[in-house]
């Protein structure tokens, strides 16, 4: 079950409950009883991929026949602080895609699931029940689960839209993605059904970067330079400062803007490396992104999450783009 982006301010809030929107990975944890009585537990991503090998401590801790829905997180305090907190998404990302996980990683980045729904318990299908009934069942089931690996997404009080907007705005201070609204009487349905669940994410961060490299896209964009790498200044741009790449984006612009950008790349190419063109440092992008994390894989020492082109700043000279210190100040562990 997926949520719609929140756009209306005329909802009857009494019909909804609110929760934090945690910055993790949506998962389902499943335990199916076996003939021998032990059964098997698996962990699945939203796309249906089996990620049990990357997070073996989760299925290993689940021995109750059920299907659980929640957010996969890593223990820490970057999100939400000491009370019910979690590490940043970057800590979780370190473990994604691994076929084996070392004891050191299990110890230093232990995973857990913050539960917010239950689809089935011991063979009983709970999906047709209203959210309020499923929540009661989940709270009761939680007493039978390992508290190190499973906890409950707490509800937050929202007496009005002003308070809801304030919570959503303050979510950035706690490194949380935003807030969720769920109808108390909503069944659990596949896909997105209007009016049942809403997500209201915090506004993105913005920074001015300089276009450095471009590559052609794929599919309909295969003839256009549409994949852009951009950077921020390390040091004084009017002195010996240099641009360090900080991100890559391939959306956020219109078809007309894409044609203009493709023309700019072709007219301002100063070097080529296989399919990559290096451009002169003359075009500024206002880049939107959700967060920034430390990254040893990048020369800049950081990585942006969900970067996208927010605006093309034809009015701004490249030497006035932001310095990398502005991004480093936003890094959360």
What residues are annotated to the active site?
A: 21
121: three-class secondary structure by DSSP = strand
**CB–CB of 156/178 below 8 Å?**
no
229: three-class secondary structure by DSSP = strand
Closest alpha carbon to 292 in 85, 23, 76, 5? 23
Closest alpha carbon to 116 in 154, 79, 89, 168? 154
Contacts 24+ apart (CB under 8 A), 232-238: 232/207, 232/300, 232/321, 232/322, 232/323, 232/324, 232/326, 232/327, 233/319, 233/321, 233/322, 233/323, 233/324, 234/300, 234/323, 234/324, 235/323, 237/318, 237/319, 237/320, 237/321, 237/323, 238/319
67: three-class secondary structure by DSSP = strand
- With vertex at residue 96, the alpha carbon angle to CA 78 and CA 98, rounded to the nearest 5 degrees, is 135
306: left (phi over 0), alpha (psi -120 to 50) or beta: left
Neighbours of 65 (CB within 10 A): 17
């Amino acid at each position: 079950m997926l949520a719609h982006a929140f756009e209306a301010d005329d909802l009857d809030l009494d019909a909804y409950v609110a929760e934090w929107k945690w910055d993790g990975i949506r998962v389902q944890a499943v335990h199916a009883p076996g003939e021998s009585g032990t059964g098997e537990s698996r962990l699945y991503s939203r796309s249906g991929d089996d990620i049990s090998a990357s997070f073996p401590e989760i299925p290993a801790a689940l021995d109750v026949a059920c299907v659980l829905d929640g957010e996969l997180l890593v223990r820490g305090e970057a999100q939400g602080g000491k009370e019910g907190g979690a590490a940043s998404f970057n800590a979780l990302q370190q473990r994604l895609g691994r076929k084996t996980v070392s004891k050191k990683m299990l110890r230093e980045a232990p995973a857990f699931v913050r539960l917010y729904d239950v689809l089935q318990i011991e063979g009983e299908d709970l999906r047709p029940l209203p959210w309020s009934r499923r929540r009661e069942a989940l709270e009761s089931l939680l007493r039978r689960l390992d508290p190190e690996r499973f906890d409950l997404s707490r509800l937050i009080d929202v007496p009005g839209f002003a308070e809801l907007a304030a919570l959503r705005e303050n979510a950035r201070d706690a490194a949380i993605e935003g807030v969720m609204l769920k109808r108390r009487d909503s069944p659990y349905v596949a896909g997105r059904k209007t009016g049942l669940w809403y997500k209201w994410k915090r506004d993105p961060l913005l920074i001015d970067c300089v276009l450095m490299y471009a590559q052609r896209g794929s599919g309909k964009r295969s003839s256009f330079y549409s994949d852009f790498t951009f950077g921020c200044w390390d040091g004084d741009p009017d002195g010996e400062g240099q641009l360090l790449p900080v991100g890559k984006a391939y959306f956020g612009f219109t078809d007309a803007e894409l044609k203009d950008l493709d023309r700019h790349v072709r007219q301002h190419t100063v070097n080529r490396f296989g399919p990559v063109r290096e451009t002169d440092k003359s075009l500024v992008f206002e880049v939107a992104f959700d967060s920034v994390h430390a990254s040893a894989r990048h020369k800049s020492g950081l990585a942006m999450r969900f970067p996208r082109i927010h605006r093309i700043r034809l009015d701004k000279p490249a030497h006035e783009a932001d310095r990398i210190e502005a991004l480093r100040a936003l890094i959360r562990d």
